[in-house]
């Protein structure tokens, strides 16, 4: 017996999250912008109907926004993260195993339920009732097929948001509805190659020999073909895999021209990364700093700098990581005078992450007995009084490098000063 896997996700999740607290957004076109207010990354159905494309730059949309009264929002990840967490909590009442795939998508173990369809519909109803977010659910024996089912359920209101394709005959009937380019894990290059071979929908790869699949698109495509045939290659993980690396990187609202400003941004990113490490009980062994100018402005001087360093002993201490980041940033800073660069992006990456308990001890470990207590105090202060209550001075006070987010909605659910108001 094949084990049913469900995937639940919300169409236009960011828009749905905005709509919870602002009923004037109902039935009107709404878009949410990417980091730094660059382009549209989420669109309500009404906005899609106006022909606004995914990733379309804001400055090209001004006419449509004015003509149709499109409501525009900057990304409010604080809000989306909180709503996402609440949605997962509801899922957890319906299945013992939830694998969070992204901010708006979860794989759910649906093994052992008698009436899956009824169960999924009840879950969908509860998420809508308790949180106010509409989700669609696809159920299938493999993750790839579940994604197809979810895709069909999203596009065809006739299914009422739930589609179970555990039945082979049903799958045969439905898969021709999914264009090959929409299949999970198939990029546009592979899509083009498959079209040439006469493979147009998710139904076609089921008859494709795996050898051929491997020849056309490597192991990844072979796995996808097997998954479409109903053979589960991607396991349902009930344990989150150990994180191998992490990155904190942001675009700057205004180009950063001097070392201090770039280093302020780098300090802030390193601080955030250190916080994340401590949250997960990890330490890092390698740190990379990078920054670069706007690659789309070839009329301006271009520079891209990056340096890596070992962090010894391996650490999650904010001071250690910021110090390592400073060495990297100084080494990567452009040499020579006279060139004025405007850096629009800076970030840090941490690699070689292991659990704190497993870290190798160095022979001449510098004893810093107060470091753990200091870090825990730092985290506690920032948890209780809000992020960035206590920061390293090298992060700066004015933070000119901060993101542009001119249209961000309030952090309705996480800040006392931002609570929604009822009259």
Partner 1 sequence: MPVFSVETPVIANGMPVRLVANAVSAGFPSPAGDDLEDEIAPISWVVRHPSSTFWWRVEGDCLWDAGIRDGDIIAVDRAGKRRVGRAVLAVVEGAVTAKILRKRDGRYFLAPANSKESFPDIELTEDSEIWGVIAGVVRRYDLE
- Residues binding partner 1 (CB under 8 A): 20-21, 23-24, 26, 86, 89-90, 129-132, 412-413, 416, 419-423
Q: What are phi and psi of 388, to 5 degrees?
A: 70, 25
Across 159-210, the runs of DSSP E, i.e. the strands, are 162-164
Query: Which of 76, 77, 79, 43 minimizes the C-alpha distance to 58?
Result: 43
Q: How far is the CB of 135 from partner 1 (least distance, A)?
A: 14
Q: How far is the CB of 86 from partner 1 (least distance, A)?
A: 4
Q: Which is nearer to partner 1, 90 or 174 (CB)?
A: 90
Q: How far is the CB of 120 from partner 1 (least distance, A)?
A: 19
Q: How far is the CB of 89 from partner 1 (least distance, A)?
A: 4
Q: How far is the CB of 27 from partner 1 (least distance, A)?
A: 10
- Give CA–CA dist 74/411, Å, rounded: 12
Q: How big is the chain by its Cα radius of gyration, in Å?
A: 24
Q: Which is nearer to partner 1, 297 or 415 (CB)?
A: 415
Q: Which is nearer to partner 1, 74 or 413 (CB)?
A: 413
Kindly write down the DSSP assignment for every residue of 241-260, as one continuous string.
Answer: PPP-EEEEEEEEEEEE-SHH
Do residues 239 and 22 touch, judged by C-beta distance below 8 A?
Answer: no
- As a residue count, the chain comes to 423
Helix extents (H) in 22-179? 45-49, 62-68, 77-92, 116-130, 143-155, 168-174
Query: Which of 258, 183, 170, 168 minimizes the C-alpha distance to 213?
Result: 183
Q: How far is the CB of 128 from partner 1 (least distance, A)?
A: 10
Q: Which is nearer to partner 1, 1 or 416 (CB)?
A: 416
Residue 338, Cβ density class (10 Å: 0-12 exposed, 13-18 middle, ≥19 buried): exposed
Helix extents (H) in 290-334? 318-332
Q: How far is the CB of 420 from partner 1 (least distance, A)?
A: 5
Q: Which is nearer to partner 1, 38 or 132 (CB)?
A: 132
> Residue 102: left (phi > 0), alpha (psi -120 to 50), or beta?
beta
Half-sphere exposure of 377 (CA within 13 A, CB side): 6
Q: How far is the CB of 276 from partner 1 (least distance, A)?
A: 23
Query: Which of 134, 53, 119, 122 minimizes the C-alpha distance to 87?
Result: 134
Find all residues with CB under 8 Å of 423, minimum gap 6, and list them.
none
Do residues 190 and 212 touch, judged by C-beta distance below 8 A?
Answer: no
Q: How far is the CB of 418 from partner 1 (least distance, A)?
A: 9
């Amino acid at each position: 017996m094949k084990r049913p896997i469900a995937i639940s996700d919300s169409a236009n999740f960011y828009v749905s999250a905005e709509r919870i607290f602002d009923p004037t957004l109902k039935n009107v076109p709404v878009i949410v912008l990417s980091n730094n207010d660059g382009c549209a990354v989420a669109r309500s159905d009404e906005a899609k109907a106006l022909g606004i494309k995914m990733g379309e730059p804001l400055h090209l949309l001004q006419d449509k926004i004015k003509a149709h009264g499109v409501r525009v929002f900057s990304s409010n990840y604080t809000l989306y993260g909180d709503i996402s967490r609440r949605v997962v909590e509801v899922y957890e009442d319906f299945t013992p195993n939830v694998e969070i795939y992204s901010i708006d998508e979860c794989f759910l173990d649906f093994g052992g339920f008698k009436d899956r369809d009824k169960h999924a519909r009840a879950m969908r109803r509860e998420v809508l009732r308790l949180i106010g977010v509409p989700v669609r659910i696809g159920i299938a024996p493999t993750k790839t097929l579940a994604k197809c089912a979810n895709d069909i359920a999203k596009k065809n209101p006739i299914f009422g948001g739930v589609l179970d394709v555990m039945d082979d005959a049903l799958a045969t009937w439905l898969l021709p509805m999914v264009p090959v380019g929409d299949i999970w894990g198939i990029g546009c290059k592979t899509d083009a190659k498959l079209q040439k071979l006469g493979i147009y929908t998710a139904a076609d790869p089921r008859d494709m020999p795996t050898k051929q699949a491997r020849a056309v698109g490597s192991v990844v495509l072979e796995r996808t073909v097997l998954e479409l045939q109903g053979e589960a290659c991607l396991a349902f993980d009930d344990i989150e895999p150990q994180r191998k690396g992490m990155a904190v990187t942001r675009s700057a609202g205004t180009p950063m021209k001097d070392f201090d400003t770039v280093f302020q941004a780098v300090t802030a990113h390193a601080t955030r990364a250190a916080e994340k490490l401590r949250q997960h009980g990890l330490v890092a062994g390698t740190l990379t700093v990078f920054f670069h100018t706007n690659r789309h402005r070839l009329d301006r001087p271009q520079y891209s700098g990056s340096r890596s360093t070992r962090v010894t002993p391996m650490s999650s201490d904010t001071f250690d990581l910021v110090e390592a980041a400073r060495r990297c940033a100084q080494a990567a800073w452009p040499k020579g005078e006279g060139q004025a660069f405007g850096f629009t992006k800076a970030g840090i990456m941490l690699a070689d992450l292991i659990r704190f308990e497993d870290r190798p001890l160095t022979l001449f470990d510098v004893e810093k007995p107060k470091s753990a207590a200091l870090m825990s105090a730092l985290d506690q202060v920032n948890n209780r009084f809000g992020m960035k209550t206590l920061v390293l001075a090298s992060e700066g006070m004015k933070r000119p490098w901060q993101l542009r987010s001119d249209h961000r909605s309030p952090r309705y659910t996480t800040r006392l000063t931002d609570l929604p108001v009822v009259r």
